[in-house]
Structure 1
Amino acid sequence: MNNDLLQQKFSHSLDEDLITEISSKGILKTFKKDDIIIDIDQTLNFIPLLLTGDIKIIREDRDGNELLIYFLEAGETCTMSLTCCLGTTKSKIRAVAEKDSSLVMIPVQNMQTWFHNNESWRNFILQSYQIRFDEMLQAIDSLAFMKMDERLYKYLKNMAMVDESKTISIKHQEIAEDLNTSRVVVSRLLKKLENESKIKLGRNKIEVV
């Protein structure tokens, strides 16, 4: 594996020797938009490092309803998969490619060895836990304290930040699935946000003003 991209995305958090080792022992995989990367109840023997693209992490209830927990961006890892690997439990989340993405899969035995032997890796993992914990608290706060229109607007702003563009290409049904509500509710609230001059609606496109 060429480690130029690894250097570009992870040199700020991982030392050069470790990046070289990841380059030799990691497995490069690519996924298309909407591909499932990790599924619920899957046994994990690797953790992903995201090189390019974006991934959304989703929880699912017993009835199959989904709820978006957080997004992963390039240069990050999924701490939910770390927890499963360390505890040898099955995945409790679904990771779906938000756009075409490439990842390095780190075998669990290497991840555990590096955690004990490499300070930069240990700090990277602990910081990742803190970031994801903060994001999950924000998700809980949104569910508990925010109205649906506020949750929707926050979701759209996060999507714009992840896509690095004010214009988001997305269908109302996709938003409804991520927010665990109905398409009718989403369409009504989008119109409300447009009337408040917070967004502009187009055909399968939304511009965050």
Structure 2
Amino acid sequence: MIITIEEYLHKYFNQFEPALKKILAENCTIKTFEAGEELMNPGQFFKSTMLIMEGRVKLYREGEDSGEFFIYYLEPGDACALSMICATRNQTSQVMAKADEKTVVLAIPLPLMDQLMREYKTWYYFVLETYRSRFEELLKVIDHVVFRGMDERLEFYLKNQAEKNHTNQLKITHQEIANDLNSSREVISRLLKKMEQNNRLKLYRNYIEWIG
């Protein structure tokens, strides 16, 4: 079944005023990304900003050694604050965004952004709230990187995965966890085994069962 822009906006962005929904429906386009497909890359200029309608997007920061560090997820009802900032200032992206599963976004053309900020209060407040919530996400990341050990970071990561996926059966490999936490597979495997011994989780061949 094909879902229209109006239906998506009503479901996930119903706080928008009717006139705002109308202009978005008339000027924006729906884009679909398959799991693993990249939405943006470091060094890329933006032609639009994105509202997430379906699926989930994972944001990474790439290191000089080509390593990847997981920042946070974007889910239905969210917007990419970084793309908003870079777009309005005509700057390139400093992060990589990848579809964690099949994802549908609403692409908002850059020329429309200034008009939305000037004329629609619900968009203005939505942008402010997006900046605030993403800033809080970044503070959590900094807190765990600077002030927590890898065991605590791993526990927070697994708990977050269970909450975001709405399941305790996490189909993620030790290497994927290591990539997200900028660690090694050997370290992650050792810590997972220790957590299993402490009855925090159970390790299976194809998934991890989070007990918490």
- What band does the TM-score fall into relative to the shorter chain? over 0.9
Cα distance, 1:15 vs structure 2:
1.6
1:76-101 per-position Cα deviation (integer Å, ceiling 9, x unaligned): 01101111001100000101111111
Once residues 100 and 191 of structure 2 are traced to their aligned partners in structure 1, the CA distance between those partners, rounded to angstroms, is 23
Query: Which amino acid in 2 is paired with 1:66?
Result: E
Identical positions, percent: 36
Could you list the runs of 5+ residues in structure 1 that have no partner in the other structure?
none
**Superposition deviation, residue 42 in structure 1:** 0.5
Match of 2:12 in 1: 9
Q: What secondary structure does 1:57 align onto?
A: strand
Q: Which amino acid aligns with 1:200?
A: K
Tell me the residue number matched to 1:143: 145
User: SS in structure 2 opposite 1:111?
Assistant: helix
Structure 1 residue 200, shift from structure 2 partner: 1.5
SS in 2 for 1:92: coil
Amino acid at match of 1:171: T
* TM-fit CA distance, 1:61: 1.3
CA distance in 2, matches of 1:187, 1:26: 45
Show the 5 A alignment for 1:153-164: 153-164=155-166
Amino acid at match of 1:32: E
What is the Cα deviation at residue 187 of structure 1?
0.8
Give the distance between the partners of 1:168 and 1:25, measured in 2 at CA: 39
**1:2 deviation in Å?**
3.8
Give 1:67 deviation, angstroms.
0.5
- Deviating runs (4+, > 2 A) in structure 1? none
* CA distance in structure 2 between the partners assigned to 1:2 and 1:81 by the alignment: 20
Aligned twin of 1:109 = 111
Determine helix, strand or coil for the equivalent of 2:42: coil
Say yes or no: does 1:125 pair with 2:127: yes
Shift of residue 72 of structure 1? 0.7
Q: CA separation in 1, counterparts of 2:193 and 2:64?
A: 31
The CA deviation at 1:25 is: 1.3
Q: How does 1:40-79 map to 2 (within 5 A)?
A: 40-79=42-81
Cα pair distance change 1:118/1:2, threshold 3 Å: closer
Distance 1:98 1:23 in 2: 26
2:189 to 187, 190, 193: 187
Encode CA deviations 1:167-194: one digit per residue, 9 max, x unaligned: 1111111111111111111111111111
Q: Distance in 2 between matches of 1:101 and 1:170?
A: 19
What is the SS of the residue equivalent to 2:30? strand
| TM-score in terms of structure 1 length | 0.96
Give me the TM-score of the superposition, normalised by structure 2: 0.95
Q: Which amino acid aligns with 2:45?
A: T
How far has the Cα of 1:17 moved from its partner? 2.1
